[in-house]
Amino acid sequence: MKNKLIIPGRIVTNNSNDEILLGNAVEIKDDTITGIKKWSKKEIQSFKGQVIYAEHLTLVPGFIQTHIHLCQTLFRGLADDLQLLDWLQLKIFPFENAHNRASLKYSVRIGINELLLGGTTTILDMGTLRYQEEIFDELINAGMRAFAGKCMIDQNDLFPGFKSNTKSELNETLQLAKEFHNKSDLIKYGFAPRFVLSCSEELLKETRNMMQDFPGSIYHTHSSENQYEVAEVRKRFGKENIEFFNDANILSDDVVLAHCIHLNEKETGILKNQKTRVAHCPSSNLKLASGIAQIPLYLKNGISVSLGADGAPCNNSLSAFVEMRLAALIQKPIHGADVLNAKTIFKLATIEGAKALHIDDKVGSIEPGKKADLVLINLDRLSHSLSNSPEKIYSDLVYSASKEDVIDVMVNGKWVVRQKKSLLYDENELYINSKKQLSSLLKRL
């Protein structure tokens, strides 16, 4: 891999001092950032490797989304205006159930394509019931940084055809974890039982036990998303979601719970004590009529919060920018205009995601020694603030930027997007074949 020198107008380092550096260059050897400093013209001229002059662009760390369903990207726009349980029962479970290898492949590809074009370089993906190895193959081929795992379901009242049995779920998961955990530097296993209502207690507990053999893996599930889900959990177990997970000895600092909207004080205390991570998905939470998570309360309690776009059919985008803006805006009428300012939100979408996944030694900021997951973004446009203050960058990133401002994206030292074009995919081919796959899938329903 060629050495690279990127010379952007500004660098949002996201380091512990929140430094914004002007006129510095970032030196990259193989997959790693090796230096950040001002270079003289002479030094630049004698640099052996690729030099990227990007004076009009701003360099930010790649975005990290800690709750994604790549397998659902094909279903965008086909499941609007439904609350979670109807959405699962009437649309998403039947759709996921109708996937074959080819349709899953394209769903994942267009998801990865959209995420990378929008500057997201790391995801935690929920997977799907069958053909999980296709998702791993696509992630590995794309060179995306990811935690992924087979979605586990051993009971399903909503759509009984979409499940397997406990033993085979555990076996299949074990084989996949053995094959794919650390298969590349970029891929780790994310154990993924879907949610309490679709998993036996045995499945949830045995999955937790299984994780011991896969250090660095993550336990990824949904919790407390919807009022009917919460009521049903209460009815079945006489307790709340988080209490249930806690009593089953599942919670720890390697667990990421998507949503966490309907929590009582006791549950918030459990998340705090167990250092369990919350993946906040504001678009999805609004669109599925789920509610608004008490993110300011969680942050005040030191609970880890990061962001995710969830799946395309409950969003209907996979943009980190859309989630950042909404995460900031929806809290303000409740908690005041100054809650969750732009800088705080930007961190949730970057370094806090890295911390949630225990990879903040590798990514989430731009510092020597870290992996080069980098995004060049054009904030010097009329659609952003025209102020000369460096601090305006956070406002631009959170309140006015969109995925269309992303120009170049690098994952682990390798360019995946240049000049707003994917270096991985032929978008025309993706478009034609994804439409074909969707059409066939809808016929299979």
User: How far apart, in whole angstroms, are the C-alpha atoms of residue 271 and residue 257?
Assistant: 10
The only residue of 49, 215, 333, 369 in contact with a second copy, by rule CB under 8 A: 333
The span of 74-82, 190-198, 234-242, 409-417 binding a second copy (CB under 8 A) equals 74-82
Question: Which of these, 264, 341, 266, 355, lies nearest to 305 by C-alpha position?
Answer: 355
Distances from the Cα of 38 to the Cαs of 8, 25, 41, 98, in angstroms? 11, 6, 10, 54
Q: Which parts of 413-432 interact with a second copy (CB under 8 A)?
A: 427, 430-431
Distances from the Cα of 367 to the Cαs of 12, 27, 31, 96, 342, in angstroms? 10, 10, 13, 40, 21
**32: buried, middle or exposed (CB in 10 Å: 19+, 13-18, 0-12)?**
middle
CA-atom Rg of the chain in angstroms: 21
Q: Which parts of 338-367 interact with a second copy (CB under 8 A)?
A: 338, 341-342
CB of 116 to a second copy, least distance (A): 12
Here's the x/- map for a second copy, 262-301, by CB under 8 A: it reads as: ---------------------x-xxxxxxxx---------
Q: Is 207 in the site for a second copy (CB under 8 A)?
A: no
Q: Which parts of 113-172 interact with a second copy (CB under 8 A)?
A: 113-114
Closer Cβ to a second copy, 222 or 371, answer by number: 222
CB of 367 to a second copy, least distance (A): 26
Q: Is 445 in the site for a second copy (CB under 8 A)?
A: no
Q: Is 315 in the site for a second copy (CB under 8 A)?
A: yes
| Count of residues touching a second copy (by CB under 8 A) | 59
Residues 6+ apart with CB under 8 A from 283: 309, 310, 314, 315, 317, 322, 323, 326
Residue type, 416: V
The only residue of 337, 419, 443, 445 in contact with a second copy, by rule CB under 8 A: 337
User: How far apart, in whole angstroms, are the C-alpha atoms of residue 177 and residue 191?
Assistant: 8
CB of 63 to a second copy, least distance (A): 16
Residues 6+ apart with CB under 8 A from 405: 321, 377, 378, 379, 381, 383, 384
The only residue of 18, 29, 35, 78 in contact with a second copy, by rule CB under 8 A: 78
Closer Cβ to a second copy, 358 or 381, answer by number: 381
Structure letter (DSSP) for residue 62: P
The only residue of 18, 86, 133, 201 in contact with a second copy, by rule CB under 8 A: 86
CB of 119 to a second copy, least distance (A): 14
Q: How many residues does the chain have?
A: 445
Closer Cβ to a second copy, 50 or 387, answer by number: 387
Sign of dihedral through CA atoms 199, 205, 206, 211?
Answer: positive
Interacting residue ranges for a second copy, rule: CB under 8 A: 74, 76-78, 80-83, 86-87, 110, 113-114, 283, 285-292, 315-317, 326, 329-330, 332-333, 336-338, 341-342, 380-388, 392, 395-396, 399-400, 402, 404, 427, 430-431, 434-435, 438-439, 442
